[in-house]
Every structure is written in structure tokens, then in C-alpha cells.
């Protein structure tokens, strides 16, 4: 009989969210969606944080390298411990059917061991660090089962109050160690039970049968598991929760079009929201919802109006002096200005192409472009939030923009949410969900930069030293066309909404 494969931290984390995800990750990795530019970008940040963190431990010795098997890495870890190493990177331990490769295993003050995991997330209150605490708790559990006297479990996180001034990052200032020993000790029974539940799935040739639901949103196997997704899947109801989907399926209502007029929910499960019931009516009637207040809401967009959109990037390890980690740094805007809804829009844009902090030039140029407009239309709250943050940070011109948005800003997505629903929105009101339904002739297909995360990744690449001129030109063109399309899409959505009112 084949031995049961060892359960790793990646298996454990995946399995805790969905056992099918763990199984597919282990046995059918080829079904994963290919890594996006944004994911690769996040991985690079994680790698940079690992390298910085190791500088806090100059005495650290490495126990692992890609060519080593698990047994060899575990043997090397034991050898280093017997050799008196006080700090071991990638320490590999095997016990209880599990394998842990610990970021930093160091000798504690009491003679035992400290298990520390390095994370690229920021220091937060402990109740907001659940996923990270689960990670290190698994590692500490395996180390203890392997016979190590584990006296501490810690997380090494980015300190969001850190200000980088120049030169190399200070590993003692940029990173902060958080003791989560008490949380690990409290979770030991839960971890042991989860391991017992997950391990048998690793010895099974059968893909676990887990129904898709709202928890699938960010899963790497989304496309595979949803290959036969019904057109009117319940998860397309706005604001639907996983337990509501389960309750409806148990009652035999597998899709939106099957939902009756009167829906009873079991005790403890909330009734469907007004938005969900509205979406149900749209699907069943085949008629879109157009609220009576739409014309009045659109009349709030006074001419001349401008439609704006920002692109930004967040660096865990900042690239601009004085900017704290994970600050959203806006580097690009696009604006379409209209004097009359029926006349052609004028396009203006800004893209920061230097290596300096873009924010002052961003705000100044935007202020110049939109200051005379009577309505500033944005889609969702991002633009307003970022202008407010830049004003609080004292970025020149941001306070003027903040005041302008407070007096003349209008959120077009909110207007859509309140007044319009088509079955094709599939429960969402983001530009990319609404545009193909309201303006089918306009699409993001074929763009080299196709979403906000890709724009962030493109901007980071643009800032890399020594970038060949040809690639630089491609990136600039991709960024400009993407952001331009965002604001053109807003104008066309606005016009489509006007047509719905007969204007
Ligand atoms: S898509 Fe959903 S059901 Fe499929 S593996 Fe991912 S989380 Fe599990």
C-alpha cells in the first residue's frame, strides 16, 4: 500500500478553505489558472521580504535548497541543530504525517525553540491575523510533534508605521515580530482535528465532491470547478451569502430562475436582500429593472462633467522616501470631459514616467484638468478615498481635489446599484460587469493591460532600472489605453443609462 503523502502547510491552508482545492492542488495542479502578472508581483514582494527578514539573523544557517528531498532537508536540519546552530532558515521537520518548512527556527531564551513565519502583510490587531496565525500554528504543531521543545510561535510582519528614508531598508525598522504563542496554544486541538480530517483525502484517488459557492471567488481552480456553471447560478444573486445558497439548494432551488415568490429560510439563515429579490424578479420576468428615480439621479450629472479613473500601486517595501508600506500611490489618471451628453468627449490623461514619487504631479495635473467641471464622476469610492488620503498626507493640490470631490463628486456605480439591474450583471455592478450588458460594442478584449492589477504590475516593470526602450514604450501604451478605456466606458455607460430613461 502506498504511504499517505505528507500534509504540508500549503495543503493545510488550502484544505481549511476547501478540501477539493487542497486535493486539486496536490494531484491536478495543471488545472490551476496560470499565474497572473499581479500574483507574480505579489510573490516578488514576498521574496523581497524574506530576504530582508533574514538580515535580522546574521547567524542564521540555511537548511534547504531546491535540490534536496524532504528527508535530506530534515537530516540537514537535525545536523545543524546538533552542530549548535542558534538560528536555522527553512528548517524542515516531519511528524504526525505532516511536513513543515519553518522560515526561521531559532533558540529561545528558555532553551527551547522559537518558530517564526515571515509574512508580507502588515502588523494588525491579532483578530485580523487569523490566516497568518493559522500558518505559524501549523508549523509550531509539526515542530512540537517532531519532538522539539517549542516555546514560542511568532510572526514577522511589515510595520506600516515604518518610513523609508534612503539606502537599504532597515530590517529592524521595517519588520516587526509579533508573539502569537498564546493563540497557537489555544488552537492546538483545532489544528490536530483539522489535520486528522484532511490527511485521508491525500491518500484518496477520488476528487472530493465540494459544491461551488461564494467561497470560490479567489480560488485558482475557479475555471475548472465552474466549467458547467448554470447561467443563473444562485451565487449571481447580489449580496448572497454561502449559507443562503446552501439553504436554497437544500430546498431544491438550484438556480435563480427556480426561486419561488415566497422564499422561506431556515432558522439562523437571513432572508434574501432586497437587491437579491430584485435580481430574482429580473431573471424570472426576463425584463431589466429600471428604477423610477433613474432620470432624476442622472440629472445630477451637470455639464460640463468629467469622468475620472485612477491607477495606483502599493508596495510592501516602499520605493519612495517617506511613504509608509502599502500606501496606495496613484501614478496615472484618465479623464473624459463632456460639455453635452450627445457630443464627443474630450480625453485628458496623466502617467508618471519618472522614478520619483508621482503623487504631487498626479494631483496638480488632475486639479488643472477638472477644476472647472460641474460634476466629477467616478466609479465606486476608490478615487474619493485616495484623494482624501493624499490630502491627509499633505500632498500638494490633494486638498483642493478633496474639496472639489466633496462638492461635485458623483459615484456612477452607486447610481447603477440603486436604479438599474440586468440579468447579465450576474450580481455585480463593477464596470467590467456592467459594460458588456449596457454597451456591448465596447470591450477590454485584446488590451495588453486588462485590469487594475495588471496596470500595477506594468507600472512596477516600467520603474525597473535598465528597461529596454521597446518594452518601455509597450508598457506606456498598454497603461494609457487601459485607463482611457475605463473612463470612456464610464461615459458610454452614462449615455446608455440616459437611453434607458428615453433621453
Ligand atoms: S473553485 Fe471552489 S469548489 Fe473548486 S476547489 Fe476552489 S474553492 Fe473548492
Unique residue bearing C-alpha cell 478615498: 385
Q: Does 16 sit in the ligand 1 pocket, CB within 6 Å?
A: no
Query: Which residue, judged by its Cα, is nearest atom 2 of ligand 1?
Result: 216
Please name the residue whose Cα sits nearest to atom 3 of ligand 1: 212
Local structure of 270: helix, strand or coil: coil
Handedness of CA 326, 330, 332, 333 (dihedral sign): positive
CA distance 141 to 128: 21
Residue nearest to atom 5 of ligand 1 (CA): 21
Nearest-5° Cα angle at 402, 397 to 403: 100
Q: Supply the pLDDT for residue 206.
A: 93
pLDDT at 2: 64
CA 13 to mean position of chain CA atoms:
17
pLDDT at residue number 110: 80
Angle between helices 188-202 and 9-17 (to 10 degrees): 90
Residue 402 C-alpha cell reads as 478633496
Rounded to the nearest 5 degrees, what angle is found at the Cα of 478, between the Cα atoms of 34 and 457? 50
- Please, which residues have CB within 8 angstroms of residue 410's CB and are 6 or more apart in sequence? 300, 301, 375, 376, 377, 378
Nearest CA to ligand 1 atom 4: 225
Q: Which residue has its alpha carbon closest to ligand 1 atom 7? A: 216
Distance CA 99, CA 105 (A): 14
Identify whether the C-beta of residue 391 lies closer than 8 Å to the C-beta of residue 406. Answer: no
Atom in ligand 1 nearest the alpha carbon of residue 226? 1
Q: Which three cell numbers stand for residue 460?
A: 512596477
Residue with cell 472530493: 208
Q: Would you give the DSSP letter of residue 7?
A: B
Query: Residue 225 CA: which ligand 1 atom is closest?
Result: 4
- Report the separation in Å between the CA atom of 101 and the middle of ligand 1, taken as the mean of its atom positions: 26
What are the pLDDT tens digits along the chain (503 aa)? 567 789 999 999 999 999 999 999 999 999 999 888 778 888 888 999 999 999 999 999 999 999 999 999 999 999 999 999 999 999 999 998 999 999 999 998 788 999 999 999 999 999 999 999 999 999 999 999 999 999 999 999 999 999 988 888 999 999 999 999 999 999 999 999 999 999 999 999 999 999 999 999 889 999 999 999 999 999 999 999 999 999 999 999 999 999 998 899 999 999 999 999 999 999 999 999 999 999 999 999 999 999 999 999 999 998 899 899 999 999 999 999 999 998 999 999 999 999 899 999 999 999 999 999 999 999 999 999 999 999 999 999 999 999 999 999 999 999 999 999 999 999 999 999 999 999 999 999 999 998 998 899 899 999 888 899 999 999 999 999 999 999 999 999 999 999 999 87
| Among the listed residues 106, 103, 126, the one whose alpha carbon sits nearest the alpha carbon of residue 114 | 106
Say how far apart CA 18 and CA 301 lie, in whole Å.
45
The three three-digit cell numbers of residue 304, written as one number: 460640463
* DSSP letter for each residue of 448-464: SS-SHHHHHHHHHHHTS
- What span, in angstroms and rounded, lies between the C-alpha atoms of 171 and 102? 19
Question: In the prediction, which pLDDT does 1 show?
Answer: 55
pTM passes above 0.85: yes
Ligand 1 centroid to 421 CA: how many Å? 28
The answer to whether the CB of 307 is under 6 A from ligand 1 is no
Please name the residues in contact with 196: beta carbons below 8 A apart, sequence gap of 6 or more: none
Residues 107, 110, 115, 117, Cα dihedral to 10°: -90
Find the 274 Cα to ligand 1 centroid distance in Å: 28
Amino acid at each position: 500500500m502506498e504511504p499517505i503523502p505528507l500534509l504540508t502547510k500549503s495543503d493545510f491552508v488550502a484544505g481549511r478553505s476547501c478540501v477539493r482545492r487542497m486535493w486539486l492542488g496536490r494531484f491536478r495542479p495543471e488545472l490551476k489558472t496560470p499565474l497572473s502578472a499581479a500574483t507574480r508581483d505579489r510573490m516578488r514582494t514576498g521574496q523581497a521580504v524574506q530576504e530582508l527578514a533574514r538580515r535580522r539573523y546574521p547567524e542564521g544557517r540555511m537548511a534547504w535548497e531546491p535540490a534536496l528531498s524532504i528527508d535530506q532537508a530534515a537530516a540537514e536540519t537535525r545536523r545543524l541543530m546538533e552542530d549548535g546552530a542558534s538560528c536555522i532558515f527553512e528548517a524542515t521537520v516531519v511528524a504526525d504525517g505532516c511536513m513543515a518548512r519553518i522560515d526561521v527556527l531559532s533558540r529561545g531564551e528558555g532553551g527551547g525553540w522559537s518558530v517564526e513565519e515571515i509574512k508580507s502583510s502588515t502588523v494588525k490587531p491579532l483578530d485580523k491575523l487569523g490566516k497568518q496565525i493559522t500558518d505559524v500554528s501549523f508549523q509550531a504543531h509539526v515542530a512540537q510533534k517532531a519532538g522539539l521543545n517549542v516555546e514560542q510561535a511568532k510572526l514577522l510582519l511589515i510595520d506600516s508605521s515604518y518610513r523609508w528614508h534612503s539606502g537599504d531598508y532597515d530590517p529592524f525598522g521595517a519588520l516587526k515580530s509579533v508573539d502569537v504563542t498564546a493563540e497557537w496554544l489555544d488552537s492546538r486541538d483545532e489544528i490536530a482535528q483539522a489535520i486528522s480530517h484532511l490527511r485521508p483525502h491525500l491518500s484518496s484517488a477520488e476528487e472530493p465532491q465540494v459544491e461551488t459557492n461564494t467561497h470560490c471567488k479567489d480560488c485558482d481552480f475557479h475555471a475548472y470547478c465552474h466549467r458547467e456553471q448554470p447561467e443563473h447560478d444562485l451565487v449571481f444573486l447580489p449580496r448572497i451569502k454561502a449559507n443562503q445558497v446552501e439553504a436554497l439548494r437544500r430546498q431544491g432551488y438550484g438556480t435563480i430562475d427556480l426561486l419561488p415568490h415566497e422564499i422561506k429560510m431556515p432558522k439562523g439563515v437571513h432572508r434574501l436582500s432586497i437587491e437579491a429579490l430584485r435580481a430574482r424578479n429580473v431573471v424570472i420576468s426576463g425584463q431589466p429593472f429600471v428604477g423610477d428615480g433613474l432620470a432624476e439621479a442622472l440629472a445630477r450629472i451637470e455639464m460640463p462633467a468629467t469622468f475620472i479613473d485612477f491607477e495606483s500601486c502599493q508596495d510592501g517595501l516602499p520605493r519612495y522616501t517617506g511613504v509608509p508600506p502599502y500606501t496606495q500611490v496613484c501614478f496615472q489618471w484618465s479623464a473624459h470631459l463632456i460639455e453635452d451628453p450627445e457630443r464627443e468627449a474630450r480625453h485628458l490623461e496623466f502617467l508618471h514616467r519618472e522614478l520619483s514619487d508621482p503623487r504631487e504631479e498626479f494631483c496638480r495635473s488632475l486639479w488643472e484638468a477638472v477644476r472647472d467641471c460641474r460634476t466629477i464622476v467616478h466609479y465606486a469610492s476608490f478615487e474619493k478615498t485616495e484623494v482624501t488620503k493624499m490630502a491627509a498626507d499633505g500632498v500638494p493640490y490633494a486638498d483642493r481635489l478633496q474639496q472639489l470631490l466633496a462638492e461635485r463628486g458623483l459615484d456612477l456605480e452607486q447610481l447603477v446599484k440603486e436604479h438599474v439591474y440586468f440579468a447579465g450583471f450576474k450580481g455585480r455592478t463593477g464596470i467590467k460587469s456592467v459594460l458588456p450588458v449596457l454597451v456591448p460594442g465596447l470591450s477590454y478584449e485584446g488590451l495588453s493591460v486588462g485590469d487594475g492589477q495588471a496596470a500595477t504590475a506594468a507600472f512596477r516593470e516600467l520603474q525597473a532600472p535598465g528597461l529596454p526602450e521597446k518594452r518601455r514604450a509597450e508598457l506606456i501604451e498598454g497603461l494609457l489605453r487601459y485607463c482611457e478605456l475605463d473612463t470612456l466606458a464610464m461615459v458610454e455607460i452614462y449615455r446608455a443609462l440616459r437611453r434607458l430613461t428615453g433621453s
